[in-house]
Amino acid sequence: MKAADLKNLLERVQAWPEAAQQELAAVANEIESELRGQDYFATHEELQVIDAAMAAIDRGEIATKAEVEGAFAKFRRG
């Protein structure tokens, strides 16, 4: 991507909804951190999702082998 293309994109981003702008900024920050070799730190929201998933597993709410195979088969067809 040329510098002019990037500049044009950033100008268009200013017209995006605030939530979309925040999402782009978060992704750009993650990429920059990776390029700098910095450790990744999950956001509060990501940690909440992880905690909820772990609690569901602790309650025994896990997919059966057949359900997992069905999901993989669905994505392989596409």
- Residues 41-57: tens digit of each pLDDT: 888 999 999 999 999 99
* Dist. CA 78–CA 76, nearest whole Å: 5
Q: Structurally, how many domains does the chain consist of?
A: 2
* Dist. CA 75–CA 72, nearest whole Å: 5
pLDDT band for position 78 (cuts 50, 70, 90)? low
pTM: 0.50
Judgement on whether residues 30 and 6 belong to the same structural domain of the protein: yes
Judgement on whether residues 31 and 61 belong to the same structural domain of the protein: no
* Three-state SS letters, 4-72: HHHHHHHHHHCCCCHHHHHHHHHHHHHHHHHHCCCCCCCCHHHHHHHHHHHHHHHCCCCCCHHHHHHHH
Judgement on whether residues 48 and 12 belong to the same structural domain of the protein: no
Judgement on whether residues 3 and 22 belong to the same structural domain of the protein: yes
